[in-house]
Amino acid sequence: MNKKKSTTHQLTRRTFIRQTGIAAALAAGVSSYLRLAPQAFANAGPATPFSFTPFTRPLPIPGRLAPATLNPAPGSIDAAVGSPAVYHGIAPEYNPAHAFNKASWVLTDPSTGKPFAEKRHILEYKRTQAELIPGVKTNLYGFNGTVPGPTIRARLGEPMVVRVKNSLADTETSLHLHGGHSPSHADGHPCFYVFPNQQRDYFYPHVAPKVNGKMDVAEVPSTMWYHDHGNDVTAFNVAHGLAGFCLLTDQLEENLIKNRYLPDVDLRDAAGNLLLAADGSTQQGRYDIPMAFTDQRFNADGSLWWDPFDHDGRIGDVFTVNGCAQPFLNVEPRKYRFRMLCASLARVYQLRLSNGQTMQQIGNDSWLLPKAIETSSLYLNPARRADVIIDFSKLAGQTIYLENIMTQTNGRKPDGVDPKAPIKMVKFVVGKTKNTAFPDFNVPTGVIRPHVNITAAEATVTRYFDFNRSNGAWQINGEFYNAYRCDAHIRKGAVEKWVLRNGSGGWWHPIHIHVEAHQVVSINGKAPPDFLKYKSDHTMLEDNTTVELLMKFRTFDGPFVFHCHNNNHEDMRMMKQMEICNIETSGATCPPTLNGQWFSVPQATCGVPTDYVKSHPGLFS
Amino acid sequence: MSNTNNTLTRRELLTGRWSEPVKPADSGRFVGPASSTPGGVSTSERASRRLPDCVVRNHREDTFRLVSDLISDQRVILGFIYTRCKGICPTTTLHMREAYRVLTARQAAPFRMITISVDPERDSPDDMLRHAAVNEAAGFPNWQFVVASPEDTLAIRRGLRLVDPDPVRDRNVSTHSGVLVLGNDRSNRWGGIPSGAAPVHIANTFERIARVGTLQEFAGFGQQPS
Ligand SMILES: [Cu+2]
């Protein structure tokens, strides 16, 4: 049976490769799509005991995070580390006297001609309930009670403080802004906790690394997402709803919008005025739609199936988009921008349109690409974002589907692409007319966002990381994650070459590196596919694969982590800690010899009073 | 310290210099806040109910029901060894022992350790006793070194997902899982940690996941939001 199925795959695969730039370029990994998992181990849990009629509910569009007044003020003595109000304090970089010099990063607001004022928000981890499946109530965790969380709207050079409250009585949490460039204190290091019923002020200066004193336009992110990153509980928390989008614009993207190469990110009237919600928040633009994909599995009581003993990776049998199983979306016959996010723990998607129409991919992970890539399907693995334009203008009155053709029966890796067995994810119902008040935009033909190539010659350090499985547990270079150990001591300003190796035949690992974008140089010695040639914040390390990448470390000091973004693997300690050290300011205390050495105290306690760390050492490792 | 003396009697092994009696961490019963009854629609089962409630024999030749006598309502660390193992098993037991000491020194809430043989066709309770003794772990009152039937052992491993995806590898006992399963059956919160991790980190992770330390309970997730 396997043999027969493989043959089918091979035939269709050829067509598939011909049709898509992606597959051809992914040649390094494509062969692994074709192998099928042994049936005996295909069971990822009992089937969800509910049936429902798909495409009866509209795609929910997450609301925007509303502005808030923070009292006491961030950075004040009443909101310092150890204070009753904000126990975990705020990043040292928030202090105007800090070497970071936060004022120097603030840009001018083009609408007022004055420096951007600091934006303030409140984000609360809380229990909630939602109908992921119509009529079935499911207990979840939600940021401000919604799943996905409210979309954070950010602007380059506009500083932001998000006061995060953990109202879950159950667990320590840590908020990670994925694909962002943030201070260590605010980066969601797994041990930079927000304790139950405590608060932490996350300082997001929303900056890009500087080149010659100016922020590098090539490094500005567009589509970030935020999710929980608490030590040991990331997989559980993300599966239960703790994820949301963060959309950032800069002058370049705003010009693209103004010149009608992209639709409005925010809801505006025909005259271009912002339309605010009652709570003062901006709202999602009409033709710019975020879509977070998850796969879920349910118990008979409506709660999510969760196997705490599963360290392979959770695979669901119900597909949700923005917290709704198989929704429909009414669209006009025109172009739309979709920010697609794989918020699944272990599932890999290959998405295509049911009518065979191509899509234009304009961004990978956080960043817009230098040029649009026409593709007939999208490769979306855990944590990846694909920024995509779909043109419905020739489909007036028709219905098409966004389909997943990747089959996957366990958390280890996908079984392969099966174009004959598509799973419909979203139904697009195309109307007959378009709203003429909002003219269509054109797919950008020129440079969207420039990319500055990092060359191998710039690298002064090469590091090798082997991802492997040992006696049923996950290791990097033969070690488990340990908050007390510095695995990579990095000098700020350095260009490093990292070689990620997965010698196993059975497992895939999406490797996410915090704080900086990296540039994939090669996959098994070959050039990466087009969409991976520029900037990524994670790289899928397929089986028997070696990936070489280049990255620069800039702006921020301190401990950051890199890890497998199959969150079940991450929780089983497939993670490492890097310490970025500023040689200019730290001098002799910043030796290269800390690689692999032990700290006497964990470096991962930022924002927790020292006394507490001493009396609760167990929390920080 | 690690030499085996096959001439030692069972009694000597249990009481002699090989063992290290410690103050009982508890009377064997969980002392903690009352279990939260899942309310409303939720009846999500405890994860431990996916394990067989099978008969196991410990290194003292006592018999127990795995779930109802040893795991139900308890905070537990489960380890997996076979006594002929020259690979990871001595480390597993050694690290569990040191974690036991760390937790006892910290006056952690009551907990139990269970070491299960993954080679039940060859391991007898005597073998388990010897393994416990040479690793100076035979005298801990709340630590059972147990053997189940081969069928039950496979069912336990399946229930805990400690099965290698490759059936050939899975039959090879020397590549068995070195994962410690740790959790709190009452709160239904479980996690894992590689047994190769440092003992203090095993203790720390157990404290965090099973709330053995001073922090509050992890309430059953099946509950309605309040
Ligand atoms: Cu992984």
The C-alpha atoms of residue A222 and residue A211 are separated, in whole angstroms, by 19
> What's residue A486's pLDDT?
84
- Residue numbers of B between 24 and 83 with CB closer than 8 Å to A: 41-45, 47, 50
Q: Which of B37, B43, B44 is the best residue to mutate to test the A interface, defined by the most A CB atoms within 10 Å of its own CB?
A: B44
Share of chain A above pLDDT 90, in %: 70
CATH ID of A77-258, from 1.10.3720.10, 2.60.40.420, 3.30.420.40, 3.40.50.720: 2.60.40.420
Q: What is the nearest CA distance from B178 to chain A, expressed in angstroms?
A: 5
The C-alpha atoms of residue A241 and residue A294 are separated, in whole angstroms, by 9
The phi and psi torsions of A50 (rounded to 5 degrees) equal -125, 145
Q: Are A502 and A524 in contact (CB under 8 A)?
A: no
Closest CA in chain A for residue B51: A309
A446 CA to centre of own chain = 26
Q: Which residues of A touch B163 (CB under 8 A)?
A: 41
The C-alpha atoms of residue A204 and residue A287 are separated, in whole angstroms, by 27
Does the pLDDT value for residue A20 go beyond 60?
A: no
Residue A299 to residues A51, A147, B73, B225: CA-CA distances in angstroms?
Answer: 13, 19, 22, 17
Q: Token pair for residue A128? A: 């909630």
Give the structural domain span for B148.
38-213
Domain-embedded: residue B9: no
Confidence of residue A590 (pLDDT cuts 50, 70, 90): low
Domain count of chain B? Answer: 1
Strand order from edge to edge, sheet including A359-364: A324-325, A318-321, A288-296, A335-342, A385-391, A359-364, A367-375
> What's residue A573's pLDDT?
83
Helix or strand run (H / E) with residue A425: strand A423-430
> What's residue A24's pLDDT?
36
Q: Are A207 and A215 in contact (CB under 8 A)?
A: yes
Place of tokens 């269509």: A440
> What's residue A89's pLDDT?
96
Domain-embedded: residue B76: yes
Taking only the tens place, the pLDDT of each residue in B84-98 is 988 888 999 999 999
Fold held by A456-619: Immunoglobulin-like (2.60.40)
A555: alpha, beta or left, given left = phi > 0 and alpha = psi -120 to 50? left
Q: Token pair for residue A212? A: 């010659």
The C-alpha atoms of residue A168 and residue A233 are separated, in whole angstroms, by 13
Dihedral sign for Cα atoms in the order A478, A479, A485, A488: positive
Domain boundaries, chain A: 77-258, 288-430, 456-619
The C-alpha atoms of residue A546 and residue A455 are separated, in whole angstroms, by 18
Place of tokens 């990871």: B88
Q: Average the pLDDT over each of A282-291, A343-352, A579-588, B20-29 and give the range with the smallest value.
A: B20-29
Place of tokens 């496979």: B154
The CATH class, in words, for A288-430 is: mainly beta
The C-alpha atoms of residue A480 and residue B101 are separated, in whole angstroms, by 22
Nearest neighbour of A232 by CB, restricted to B188, B200, B209:
B209
Confidence of residue A135 (pLDDT cuts 50, 70, 90): very high
E-strand stretches of A343-418: 349-353, 359-364, 367-375, 377-380, 385-391, 399-404, 406-407, 416-417
Q: Are A516 and A561 in contact (CB under 8 A)?
A: no
Residues A471-497 have a mean pLDDT of: 84
Dihedral sign for Cα atoms in the order B99, B104, B108, B110: positive
Q: What is the nearest CA distance from B59 to chain A, expressed in angstroms?
A: 25
> What's residue B203's pLDDT?
87
Average pLDDT, chain A: 88
Q: Which residues of B touch A471 (CB under 8 A)?
A: 87-88, 175-179, 194-196
Domain-embedded: residue B63: yes
Residue, of A305 and A7, whose pLDDT is higher? A305
The C-alpha atoms of residue B119 and residue B176 are separated, in whole angstroms, by 10
Domain-embedded: residue B6: no
DSSP string, A102-133: GGGGPPB-TTTSSBPPPEEEEEEEEEEEEEEE
Query: Kindly report the CA angle at B209 between B205 and B210, in degrees rounded to 5?
Result: 110
Taking only the tens place, the pLDDT of each residue in A402-437 is 999 999 998 889 999 999 989 999 999 999 999 999
Place of tokens 């431990």: B48
Q: Which residues of B touch A621 (CB under 8 A)?
A: 200-201, 204-205
> What's residue B212's pLDDT?
62
Q: Token pair for residue A397? A: 């009155």
Residue, of B141 and A528, whose pLDDT is higher? A528
> What's residue A608's pLDDT?
82
- Cross-chain residue pair B165–A480, CB shorter than 8 Å: no
- Cross-chain residue pair B192–A470, CB shorter than 8 Å: no
Residue A412 to residues A112, A118, A315, A361, B165: CA-CA distances in angstroms?
Answer: 52, 43, 10, 27, 9
- Cross-chain residue pair A482–B200, CB shorter than 8 Å: no
B90 in reach of chain A (CB within 8 A):
no
The C-alpha atoms of residue B148 and residue B145 are separated, in whole angstroms, by 10
Q: Are A241 and A128 in contact (CB under 8 A)?
A: yes
The C-alpha atoms of residue A229 and residue A184 are separated, in whole angstroms, by 13
Between the CA of A565 and the centroid of ligand 1 the distance, in Å, is 6
Q: Token pair for residue A169? A: 């009585």
B28: alpha, beta or left, given left = phi > 0 and alpha = psi -120 to 50? left
Does the pLDDT value for residue A6 go beyond 80?
A: no
Taking only the tens place, the pLDDT of each residue in A231-279 is 888 988 899 999 999 999 999 999 999 999 999 999 999 999 999 999 9
Q: Which residues of B touch A301 (CB under 8 A)?
A: 41-44, 222
Residue B111: CATH number of its domain: 3.40.30.10
Taking only the tens place, the pLDDT of each residue in A75-126 is 999 999 999 999 999 999 999 999 899 999 999 999 999 999 999 999 999 9
Taking only the tens place, the pLDDT of each residue in A360-412 is 999 999 999 999 999 999 999 999 999 999 999 999 999 999 999 999 998 88
Does the pLDDT value for residue B113 go beyond 70?
A: yes
Domain-embedded: residue B77: yes
Rounded (10°) CA dihedral A39, A44, A46, A49: -110
Instruction: Write the ipTM.
Output: 0.73
Closest CA in chain B for residue A621: B201
> What's residue A7's pLDDT?
31
Share of chain A above pLDDT 70, in %: 88
Taking only the tens place, the pLDDT of each residue in B158-215 is 888 888 777 777 777 776 778 899 988 887 778 888 888 888 888 888 887 887 653 3
Confidence of residue A603 (pLDDT cuts 50, 70, 90): low
Output A582-590 pairs: Cβ under 8 A, ≥24 positions apart. Answer: A582/A99, A582/A492, A582/A557, A583/A491, A583/A492, A583/A493, A584/A492, A585/A99, A586/A557, A590/A491
The model's pTM: 0.86
Burial class from Cβ neighbours inside 10 Å (0-12, 13-18, 19+) for residue A89 reads buried
Residue A567 DSSP label? H
- Cross-chain residue pair A300–B161, CB shorter than 8 Å: no
Average pLDDT, chain B: 74
Q: What is the nearest CA distance from B94 to chain A, expressed in angstroms?
A: 16
Q: Which residues of B touch A234 (CB under 8 A)?
A: none
Q: Are A471 and B194 in contact (CB under 8 A)?
A: yes
Q: Where are the alpha helices (DSSP H) in A43-167?
A: none
The 3-state DSSP class for residue B22 equals coil
> What's residue B92's pLDDT?
94
Domain-embedded: residue B21: no
The C-alpha atoms of residue B48 and residue A37 are separated, in whole angstroms, by 27
Share of chain B above pLDDT 70, in %: 72
Place of tokens 């500005």: A220
The C-alpha atoms of residue A120 and residue A122 are separated, in whole angstroms, by 7
Q: Which residues of A touch B207 (CB under 8 A)?
A: 618-619
> What's residue B31's pLDDT?
25
Q: Which of A173, A309, A311 is the best residue to mutate to test the B interface, defined by the most B CB atoms within 10 Å of its own CB?
A: A309
DSSP string, A4-42: HHHHHHHHHHHHHHHH-HHHHHTHHHHHHHH----GGG-
Does the pLDDT value for residue A589 go beyond 70?
A: no
Q: Which residues of A touch B188 (CB under 8 A)?
A: 308
Query: Kindly report the CA angle at B98 between B12 and B93, in degrees rounded to 5?
Result: 65
Residue A436 to residues A59, B75, B198: CA-CA distances in angstroms?
Answer: 23, 64, 65
